[in-house]
Structure 1
Amino acid sequence: MSLNQRRRIAASPQTSLWTQTHQLNILSANPSCLELVPEPVSDLDMGLAEQLRHTQAELQRYRMLYDNIPSVYLSLDVTGVILSVNQFGANCLGYTREQLIQQPMLKLFGESEKQRLADEFKALLTDAAESAVKCGDFRLNCPLSQIKWVKVTLRFIPDYEVHKPVIIMLCEDITAHKQAEDTWRANESSRHTLIHNEQHNQVLIPDKLEELESLTRLKEEFISTVSHELRTPLTNMKMAIQMLGIALRKEQKFEGNTEISKAACYFEILNNECDREINLINNFLDLKRLERDSQPLVLETIQIQQWLWQVVEKFKQLNFHLCQQNFSIKIPHSLPPLACDSSNLERIFIELLSNACKFSPPDTAIIISAEKKANNILLQVINSGVEIPSTELPRIFDKFYRIPTNDPTKQGGTGLGLALVQKLTQQLGGTITVESRSNRTCFTIQLSLKG
């Protein structure tokens, strides 16, 4: 040992020797004698965690409601750039949400509409009043959009905390109403031209014929106007009903309260009837649109096995109160991909699954299957425990037709679902058939693999 080393040892305090000794004792201690004592969690921390979880669940529910409101909802900054859009609205416009965010909202409208809408936008910012401003009707310019005309409402929302105001834009679909107006004008022009020609040739049109034309026109106008006018209040009613449901669930901790129990029953009635009316109007407008003109298909390659599983799971999550049956999917792994409009095909399956759940007893089987046959794909929805009388089968796809006394769960229906399914299948270039015997009903869709 060197002299310097001996000097350093001699100069070290006695505590160093104590530390070295005890460090050796600790290191040589039996590991079983050492244990970790968890830090106690306070009641306050647990309460805050539960409150956070509850708040996150409510925010998730509000987000789901916002995404599924049957209108186009946009939030904009003061320059007109899109900050957010609900999922239903993005789908209607033919875009993903990512494609719309940070884009100028004027990009969605026709060239002839942009200046008029920009003037309304500037006027709203100048006034800066917290009230809704109905700007009027505007034509869209979205190639893949399901809608062509919208009624626009703007509202200025100031943010007092960060001084960044937001403008809310509501776009309601009025395409059918505008098309009815165009049809009426065309019919009027044709009628006036015909009358003029007939008068020129000194041939009078019988008054019965004129009355028939007038009645037909009035019927189309009435149906189109009423359908669209009903849509807005029903949308507001649905939102209010959902908020009522949230409030009722908060009150459920008071068990045995008879008044709350009655309110819950009334809520279920309101919610179901509102859904039924909204589905009726949506199905009716979609059916009229398909009968009037054929929309271009948006083809994509679908892997049937994965796609069908996702559709069924989505249906079960959104209709958990209705799904009391046992679902199974039977699809061979070797099934080739299908080129198809997935949005229309999903609409078909959602309607068929809803129909199967409504008319099948609880705990019975619902089978979804697919197979290749020649150059076609056969897709089937089979439900057991119910049979449609053979005398009713020829009318199963008629509009507003319901099978008499064949609704064991009393779910009701619009009478338009299967008519819409048939029209959508035809638009995809396919066919749909139904068989019902031996207490079993099977809907079969045949689509070509050639796309």
Structure 2
Amino acid sequence: MKTKFFSSIRWKMILMFLLSIGLTIFTVFILLMIAEHSYNAASFIGGVLRLLSKTVGAVFIIIVTGIMLFIFYFFLFTRGSIKYIEEISRALGEISEGNLHITIPIRTRDELGELAENINEMAEKLDRSIQDERNAERTKNELITSVSHDLRTPLTSIIGYLELISDDKYDDEIRLRHYVDIVYQKSKRLKSLIDDLFELTTLSYGGVKLKCQDINIGQLLEQLAEEFVPILNDAHMEYRLHLPDEKVIIYADPDMLVRVFENLISNAVRYGREGKYIDIHMKKRENKAITDIINYGDPISPSELQHIFDRFYRVEQSRSRETGGTGLGLAIAKNIVELHGGSIRAYTKMNSTIFEVELFIKS
């Protein structure tokens, strides 16, 4: 807010100064008229005035009276601005003590009003910064807790079975191979978790540079769906692909987008086995390519949908640590889509769960 001169406090001070002088001169003139009448009168006031005139002089009396009147009028005119300054000062004191929710009312359009507005903005930004810092700290602590738990579980199993092998606590070679296979599977899960965690950390803190190029998103989805046929067959499922007749070209990193849709399709297979089908719909809406990955398993509750893109969040927590993924796939997908300037969301409709990805079409 840039203050105009005639709305500024400088102009107000000049105006108050001039008004104070004007009213002082006018009041002194009135007082002189009254004093002259009283001076000639045979009264107590007249006697006092004659005495003062002889002792200190009439000019001195006029000057002192004028100064006192000027101070009175100037204080009277500036009282509102002084109170506003005191109000701002009190608010700053509360802010310095940590009360960042205080708001100073904007009472004027001068520099004081501008100062109050700037202080309000400063307090709001500072409060938001502190909240962001607290959220980041909480997220970091939650991440450390989740990582510790998810790393400890397979690692504990690996150590346990290796101790059995080291202590020769197995009956025959078949049992030994069984233990080795368990260790191998747990090691693969541990590696998968570490890889996903590294990828998510890299994406979250700007360590990835996109290698964008023109992509026919319909063709990319078609190729991905075909690659998932063996996995779908094992799950006794099929995919249904619905694409527009025209080509839809986006400018994106193909490897990153493959990672997004692989995660979404894998998630649909994992939690939609009962539905038998996975539908992949892509349509064009204005300047966006919208892709829906739909599965028909048990619908996800609204409370779980709110957290489905959070790190390490898994639907059906009790069994998904064993049967599900690392809990990072959807968080990775969200980060990648947002790096491309797009958006991703999940919602339910009837007996279906829909993951919707919006990406901008190349203009």
TM-score (norm 2): 0.48
The structure whose residues are more often helix, as a share, is 2
Larger relative CO (CA 8 A, sep 6+): 1 or 2?
Answer: 2
- Which structure: larger Rg? 2
TM-score (norm 1): 0.39
The structure whose residues are more often strand, as a share, is 1
